[in-house]
Amino acid sequence: MHPLRTLSRPALAALLVFGALVVPATAQADTKSEREEVQRKRAAVAAEIDTLKATDAQVEAALRALNANVATQTAALRDAERKAAEAAAALEAATAQVAAKQAEIVELDAAVKDLAVEAYIRPPSSSSFIDSLSSETIGEAELKQSLLEAQSSSQLDVLDQLERAREDLETARQAAEAAETAASDRKAAVAGKLASVTQARNQQAQVAEEVDARLDRRLSEAASLADLDKKLSAQIAAEQARIAAELARQKSTSRAASLGPVAITGSGNIVSVRGIRVHKSIADQTARLLSAADGDGISLSGGGYRDPNQQIALRRAHCGSSNYDVYQKPPSQCSPPTARPGQSNHERGLAIDFTYQGRAISSRSSPAFQWLKAHAASYGFYNLPSEPWHWSVNGD
């Protein structure tokens, strides 16, 4: 029997909800696909530009088209990663329900056997019951009929439970297999989007190299004209500066966005999620949060786990060397005031101080804070109101 054919009705309901979620809204999906295709076609045209013969305006337009394509395809990749993570989570939940349902059926089977033994030990007066138990070909229907004659309705409830459980298995089979197929399809979609991003970046890199060579030529020409026509020389230099700025933005964007799913590395209780060290219990949700933010154009980083030994060393330096000084003395009695060890979720790897564009998120008007405010709870993170940058599993 397929391991996913044993889902309970609650699991089936969850899968049906998931199924509703993974069926895309046609208009929205079409709009996204059309936008991706438009950007892809524009980038294909831009990649064919003759950078030496093209005008400055044409070169700038080509760079913008290539940059926009990379951004669009990367966002599509992040969206596919997010959906793949959701599908994987649904499949994992279904598998857990399988184990629970299998255990339930084992218990029910054992209970049925116990009833048969009990009925055999304390048989009814009916000889038909004794005859049915002694038969080598007794079937479940016959056993149930005999038990109906012999046992109370409360004892027979277990047979009804077993029958319903078996019905659940068959009912859930197709839905569970559909969830498995959906997870596989989502994984394949990520691979396809990753190929699109790779192609977009290759186009971008090729043209960037050609534009760099063009800048060399044009800037050299501007320098040669400096003595003959300073105005024209300055005009050419200014035009090349704009192109150089666009090229620099393009390269910066390319470096900032990472290919593929957010990786979880390391072993033990504390692992690294794109450089953010967290407890392994929240690693997956951290990775999914970072991918989701990437998909919406918000590239987050930050710091998570903080070794409690650092805090102990600070307490010794600021509060004293005794166990009381280190672990019990009130922070206000230290100079400077210093928190006692073990008081922070950072020391358990259950909090993250997020950064955006290289700085801690210190303003609630920051695009990063607004994104976290709208989405972080979906991934199990909550903000400490007094610290816009600090997000943890319980808001502390």
Tens-place pLDDT, residues 341-361? 877 788 888 899 999 888 889
Task: Estimate the crossing angle of helix 56-121 against helix 9-22, to 10 degrees.
Answer: 170
CA 192 to chain centroid, in Å, comes to 18
Q: What is the mean pLDDT of the segment spanning 374-378?
A: 90
SS3 277: strand
Both ends of the chain: CA-CA distance in Å?
Answer: 46
- Tell me the CA distances in angstroms from 301 to 22, 249, 256, one per residue in order: 29, 20, 11
**How many Å apart are CA 346 and CA 360, to the nearest integer?**
16
**How many Å apart are CA 163 and CA 287, to the nearest integer?**
42
Q: Looking at residue 12, what is its pLDDT?
A: 39
Tell me the residue type at 281. Answer: S
Stretch (H or E) spanning 110:
helix 56-121
> Which residues 6+ apart lie within 8 Å of 99 measured at CB?
none
SS3 384: strand
SS3 364: coil
Nearest Cα to Cα of residue 143 among 168, 166, 170, 120: 120
Asked if 147 and 153 count as a contact pair (C-beta separation under 8 A), the reply is no
Mean pLDDT (the chain) is 74
**How many Å apart are CA 377 and CA 285, to the nearest integer?**
10
pLDDT at 21 over 50: no
Tell me the residue type at 148. Answer: L
pLDDT at 321 over 80: yes
**How many Å apart are CA 81 and CA 15, to the nearest integer?**
19
* Other beta carbons less than 10 A from residue 247's beta carbon: 21
pLDDT at 22 over 90: no
pLDDT band, very low/low/confident/very high, at 11 (cuts 50, 70, 90): very low
Q: What is the mean pLDDT of the segment spanning 302-316?
A: 84
Q: Looking at residue 145, what is its pLDDT?
A: 58
Residues 113, 118, 119, CA angle at the centre, nearest 5°?
A: 100
Paired tokens of 349:
């790897």
pLDDT tens string 245-299: 777 766 555 544 544 556 676 667 888 888 888 888 898 889 889 888 887 778 8
Sheet strands side by side (includes 264-265): 264-265, 270-273, 276-279
Tell me the residue type at 235. Answer: Q
pLDDT tens string 62-71: 888 888 888 7
pLDDT at 317 over 80: yes
In the chain, % of residues over pLDDT 90: 6
SS3 381: coil
pLDDT tens string 106-127: 777 777 777 667 666 765 554 5
Determine which of 4-13, 84-93, 242-251, 324-333 has the lowest per-residue pLDDT on average: 4-13
**How many Å apart are CA 372 and CA 376, to the nearest integer?**
5
pLDDT at 323 over 60: yes
- DSSP for 40-61, please give it: HHHHHHHHT--TTTS-HHHHHH
Q: State the pTM of this model.
A: 0.48
pLDDT band, very low/low/confident/very high, at 25 (cuts 50, 70, 90): very low
